Structure 1
Amino acid sequence: MNPLTKRSENYSKWYNEIVIKSGLAEFSGIRGFMIIKPYGYSLWEIMKKELDNMLKNTGHQNIYFPLLIPKSSFLKEKKHTEICSEGCAIVTHSRLKKNSDRDELIIDPKSKLQEELIIRPTSESIICTTYKRWIQSYRDLPILLNQWGNALRWEMRTKLFIRTTEFLWQEGHTAHSTEKEAIEETKKILNIYTDFSEKFMAIPVLQGIKPYMDKFFGSEKTYCIEAIMQDGKALQIGTSHFLGQNFSKAFDVKFTNFYGKKEYVWTTSWGVSTRLIGGLIMSHSDDKGLILPPKIAPIQIIIIPIYKNKKNVIDEMAKKIINILEKKKIRVKYDNRIICTPGSKFYEYEMKGIPIRINIGPNEIKKKKVELFRRDTYEKISISYRDLQNLIPKLLDDIQKNIYQKAFNRTKKIMIKSDHYDDFKKKINDSGGFVFAHWDGTKNTGKKIQEETEATIRCIPIFSEKEKGICIYSGNPSSQRVVFSKSY
């Protein structure tokens, strides 16, 4: 039971250790690829289920498109291809054959594909090819689609969950008859992501628009939500792209409008990925392991027996408690393994971030009470097991709110303004966080600031008022503050 490296000593090492020791994931042996273990995947499944319900409740339908995209289709939208092609993996041959000279398998040169296939980094190209077949009239619109799957983008720097070559994700794609409707859809999704992040993951976020040089290539405008991790660095939680008519023009996707005229459709795309799990870890966890918000915790209650005697009586009480909790649709587990000590179980489930632990031993049986342990506050509560039915749901709700409030208070503390470059550099290096400062709107200025401070423009805040000022770097006029931060 080796303790974790402390966050204050080596944040990156602490993060990797917590991912592995909590049983979320591990390295696969292939650079940039990870194995998501059962506990990590069950966490993803719950997150997926909740977000999937939110999307379906707003009219979106799930669909699945092929993993491989014809190269000719992929190359049609030039701006999109310019950036996405840098991280593409390409299938060029269809089979292997045995080398007659040596006992090994080699690529069969006769199996070279007539057209190379791109392993999807994102699906706009293949989906727009499909739109062309599906869309004829305004009556065919809107199309509201969502896909759960995986994608592959070669990464130079990798980090479990945060930045991996292969990742699981959800990518939405919609087509509309008007610009207004497409923009409204883009904003609607941003609000769904915001609600999911704050109400389920307990991560407060800042809504914004990416500066023009950082928007999704092929889009007109990229909306995003950004969060601050415990080390003061920003993490992009999700993005929603207004694609305009860029892809529909590249793929010649037209429809006949109400007046009988041909128009190009308006499209959007949006997505979140298993990066959310990395954000969850870095937002809430401590030096003893994960801290999971109850709404998405795979196990909300862990019951641990402390066997000294009366094993049968303890097991019987545990069954009654499980029955009570399951009727409330609470996810509960009873760990009655006799090969592990209670202490080792305490360590294991603290590391896994289970919101509430219930201990049952001879003393609890005698007093007809149980001991509750809160993972978020380390508070211990002794109550009658008959009161669990009413107390547990309230306690889980209180833990959810407390975890969010703690993250909110931390974020608010490091949302700061700066009007001078020397002050800006000090704040970025000392406390990190979101630094609101004036920028002259040029790519060159943003690049210089990044080179000198490692801070990038995370977004232009949506709800901030326009405010004239002077760019902290160039001294040129600025119409609004933007958000700078070091980031993942």
Structure 2
Amino acid sequence: MSDAIVKQIEEQGAEVRRLKGDKASTEDAKTEAIQKLLALKLAYKEATGQDYVAPNARQAKPKQAPKQQAQKPEVRKQTLLGVGTRKDDNYSEWYSEVITKAEMIEYYDVSGCYVLRPWSFAVWESIQEWFDSRIKKLGVKNCYFPMFVSNAALEREKTHIADFAPEVAWVTRAGNSEMAEPVAIRPTSETVMYPSYKKWVQSHRDLPIKLNQWCNVVRWEFKHPTPFLRTREFLWQEGHTAYANAADAEKEVFQILDLYAGVYNELLAIPVVKGRKSEKEKFAGGDFTTTVEAYVACNGRGIQGATSHHLGQNFSKMFEISYEDPSREGERAYAWQNSWGLSTRSIGAMIMVHGDDKGLVLPPRVAAVQVIVVPVGFKTSNKDSLFDAVDKVTKELVAGGVKAEHDLRENYNAGWKFNHWELKGVPIRFEVGPNDLAKKQVTAVIRHNGEKQQVSMDGIVASVKTLLDEIHTQMYNKALAQRDAHLKTTTDIEEFKKHLDEKCIILSPFCGLPECEEKIKNASTREDGEGAQMGAKTLCIPLEQPKQALPSKCLFPSCTEKAKAFALFGRSY
């Protein structure tokens, strides 16, 4: 088995080198190749218990040092435990290392599909619990619809499905037999759910319908996949609601948008901008789309966090979701609909925004383990008493509602454990040694800033909860400061391009026309020796506009249309 893995590693290594030397290859292509290579090396270590060493390194004979040389040069030992790439040096390699070494994902043999390991799924569970409890207060109920879609259903709404058509995965065979009619795997569920809505709505008394499902969807993208950010199968929630009047439907759009902002602000410690999508970027088939947009400082890109769409009556007319209008005898009225969704892409945003050169940095409110308790400085004579104290502290934290674990493994030293749990991003590490025990305290090490402080064992649960809240606030404020330092306002296209190349997101006056947005994107595409850098697009039209007066002229120099609002532009995922 190890020989087969070695062959795969060598072939994949050659592919990585080829892509790095090919100026036409994209960053996405390089990222996926590197991810596969790292996964193969980890598989080799698991199979053999040893790090993979390249053939030339294995065969090379060590050179003899000259006799007059008194000292050997210092050689830095490489290990698979830590992150070997700095975030600012090579962001793609850093990301690939972090998600595998921190045990967030496991690679799978179907490209674009990944195993979400418990460490990452715990983040998703925290998001589920928080969001689910709040939509239920709005009267939303959970349900589940099948993952298969008939061809007839997809054909019924060609305009809506046009954006997804190239990515729709089809089931065409059952065993050895061709199916009489292929069925699609849902890329989204409007066409799955709305035929049932038609059956359920006969009177205005049948409205509103407020349903949500937590499920998977499949979009067979041909772009190079990246775990969490662009995957062929991903988890999400999708809400689909129908109302008897437009005002109630539009009100809900913004209620959901506020909850999405809460997921990022209150759970993930990420600041977001709430806004409307431009006509060019809005959901196909909808009246308007609202969004929350985050900023990734290391590469200067925006990332769409979640969207809440007002569909108007577009889908209800297509699927005949109507009822007898009590105010107009004999006439039927169409329902007003919304759809809204948040996916596991949120985990990718969290990793990118907070991670550092040591690995993950988990916000406390979504961390699978908030406090890891590690004994230090123990010997045979004091081991039992120290281990008992660590166990007691851990149990007290768990009983008080803190997600805590201890690491009592004796086959690893304390330094290895420190690195291990830093890599995994645990917010607080408690070190408990003989001196701490004598003083009835623990030494707390804060992951996101490395600070140390002593915490008394008396009232330790209350102290930890306060500390966790402080950590959340500090992480949020750090991300906010990074974003605001890169948030610029300009009315000049040349200054706009300069800011964009400085990894900024930019507020500029915009007329709103799709053709003008395309011109801005083309004008801001930068050609360099490594290929074209994508141009800017509108991330959103912020709901909260800048305090300065809106200029009358649109950003694009030759545009003759009047500016309608400040738009937030940037390169994006």
Task: Name the TM-score, length of structure 1 as normaliser.
Answer: 0.94
Judge conservation of contact 1:221–1:241 (CA < 8 Å) in 2: yes
> Which residue pairs with 2:165 in the alignment?
85
> Which residue pairs with 1:160 in the alignment?
227
Work out whether 1:343 is the aligned partner of 2:426. no
Work out whether 1:292 is the aligned partner of 2:362. yes
C-alpha distance in structure 2 between counterparts of 1:267 and 1:349, whole Å:
46
Deviates more, 1:43-52 or 1:146-155: 43-52
> Which residue pairs with 2:256 in the alignment?
189
**Percent identity of the aligned residues?**
35
> Which residue pairs with 1:257 in the alignment?
325
Task: Report the secondary structure of 1:478's partner residue.
Answer: coil
Task: Look at both structures and tell me which one has the larger radius of gyration over its CA atoms.
Answer: 2
Q: Residue 183 of structure 2 is aligned with which of 108, 117, 122?
A: 117
> Which residue pairs with 1:38 in the alignment?
118
C-alpha distance in structure 1 between counterparts of 2:237 and 2:198, whole Å:
23
Q: CA deviation at 1:245?
A: 1.0
List per-residue Cα deviations over 1:37-83 (Å, max 9, x = no partner): 12111221122111111211221111000000111012212210221
List per-residue Cα deviations over 1:81-118 (Å, max 9, x = no partner): 2212121001122222xxxxxxxxxxx2xx423x3211
> Which residue pairs with 2:174 in the alignment?
94
Judge conservation of contact 1:445–1:474 (CA < 8 Å) in 2: no
C-alpha distance in structure 2 between counterparts of 1:139 and 1:269, whole Å:
21
Q: Residue 447 of structure 1 is aligned with which of 513, 518, 522?
A: 518
> Which residue pairs with 1:147 in the alignment?
213
Q: CA deviation at 1:237?
A: 0.1
C-alpha distance in structure 2 between counterparts of 1:19 and 1:51, whole Å:
24
**Mapping of 1:57-96 within 5 angstroms?**
57-96=137-176
Q: CA deviation at 1:208?
A: 0.9
Tell me the amino acid that sits aligned with residue 143 of structure 1.
I
C-alpha distance in structure 1 between counterparts of 2:311 and 2:191, whole Å:
12
**Mapping of 1:331-370 within 5 angstroms?**
331-370=403-442
Judge conservation of contact 1:468–1:479 (CA < 8 Å) in 2: no
Work out whether 1:485 is the aligned partner of 2:566. no
C-alpha distance in structure 2 between counterparts of 1:423 and 1:468, whole Å:
16
Judge conservation of contact 2:82–2:419 (CA < 8 Å) in 1: no
C-alpha distance in structure 2 between counterparts of 1:367 and 1:468, whole Å:
65
C-alpha distance in structure 1 between counterparts of 2:507 and 2:421, whole Å:
39
Work out whether 1:415 is the aligned partner of 2:506. no
> Which residue pairs with 1:100 in the alignment?
none
Q: Residue 371 of structure 1 is aligned with which of 420, 423, 443?
A: 443
List per-residue Cα deviations over 1:105-137 (Å, max 9, x = no partner): xxx2xx423x32110000001110110111111
Q: CA deviation at 1:441?
A: 2.6
> Which residue pairs with 2:540 in the alignment?
459
CA distance 1:88–1:242, change in 2 (3 Å): same
> Which residue pairs with 2:273 in the alignment?
206
Q: CA deviation at 1:299?
A: 0.5
Work out whether 1:13 is the aligned partner of 2:93. yes
Tell me the amino acid that sits aligned with residue 385 of structure 2.
V
C-alpha distance in structure 1 between counterparts of 2:112 and 2:210, whole Å:
32
C-alpha distance in structure 2 between counterparts of 1:125 and 1:443, whole Å:
27
Q: CA deviation at 1:377?
A: 1.6
Task: Report the secondary structure of 2:230's partner residue.
Answer: coil
Judge conservation of contact 1:303–1:318 (CA < 8 Å) in 2: yes
List per-residue Cα deviations over 1:312-358 (Å, max 9, x = no partner): 11121122212321232110011111122211111111111111101
Judge conservation of contact 2:301–2:503 (CA < 8 Å) in 1: no
Tell me the amino acid that sits aligned with residue 227 of structure 1.
A
Judge conservation of contact 1:77–1:246 (CA < 8 Å) in 2: no
Work out whether 1:327 is the aligned partner of 2:393. no
Deviates more, 1:72-81 or 1:162-171: 72-81
C-alpha distance in structure 1 between counterparts of 2:543 and 2:441, whole Å:
51
Q: CA deviation at 1:189?
A: 0.6
Tell me the amino acid that sits aligned with residue 168 of structure 2.
C
Deviates more, 1:123-132 or 1:86-95: 86-95
Task: Report the secondary structure of 2:240's partner residue.
Answer: strand
List per-residue Cα deviations over 1:425-476 (Å, max 9, x = no partner): 00000132x2011223322222222233211111111121672332222343
List per-residue Cα deviations over 1:2-30 (Å, max 9, x = no partner): 43311211112211211111110132132
List per-residue Cα deviations over 1:164-200 (Å, max 9, x = no partner): 1110101111011011111111111111101121011
Tell me the amino acid that sits aligned with residue 366 of structure 2.
I
List per-residue Cα deviations over 1:219-239 (Å, max 9, x = no partner): 111111101012221000000
List per-residue Cα deviations over 1:343-402 (Å, max 9, x = no partner): 111111111111110111222223332111111221111233224133111101100111
Judge conservation of contact 2:82–2:423 (CA < 8 Å) in 1: no
C-alpha distance in structure 2 between counterparts of 1:4 and 1:180, whole Å:
54
Tell me the amino acid that sits aligned with residue 154 of structure 1.
W
Work out whether 1:51 is the aligned partner of 2:134. no
Tell me the amino acid that sits aligned with residue 314 of structure 1.
L
- Where does the alignment leave 5 or more consecutive residues of structure 1 unmatched? 97-107
C-alpha distance in structure 2 between counterparts of 1:343 and 1:144, whole Å:
52
C-alpha distance in structure 2 between counterparts of 1:349 and 1:153, whole Å:
34
C-alpha distance in structure 1 between counterparts of 2:229 and 2:161, whole Å:
23
C-alpha distance in structure 2 between counterparts of 1:464 and 1:485, whole Å:
17
Q: CA deviation at 1:256?
A: 2.0
C-alpha distance in structure 2 between counterparts of 1:347 and 1:374, whole Å:
13
C-alpha distance in structure 1 between counterparts of 2:507 and 2:259, whole Å:
25
> Which residue pairs with 2:554 in the alignment?
471
> Which residue pairs with 2:63 in the alignment?
none
C-alpha distance in structure 2 between counterparts of 1:481 and 1:368, whole Å:
57
Q: CA deviation at 1:258?
A: 3.2
Judge conservation of contact 2:455–2:463 (CA < 8 Å) in 1: no
C-alpha distance in structure 2 between counterparts of 1:347 and 1:180, whole Å:
54
Task: Name the TM-score, length of structure 2 as normaliser.
Answer: 0.80
Judge conservation of contact 2:402–2:461 (CA < 8 Å) in 1: no
> Which residue pairs with 1:316 in the alignment?
388
Tell me the amino acid that sits aligned with residue 125 of structure 1.
T
C-alpha distance in structure 1 between counterparts of 2:557 and 2:152, whole Å:
43
Judge conservation of contact 1:248–1:266 (CA < 8 Å) in 2: yes
Tell me the amino acid that sits aligned with residue 330 of structure 1.
V
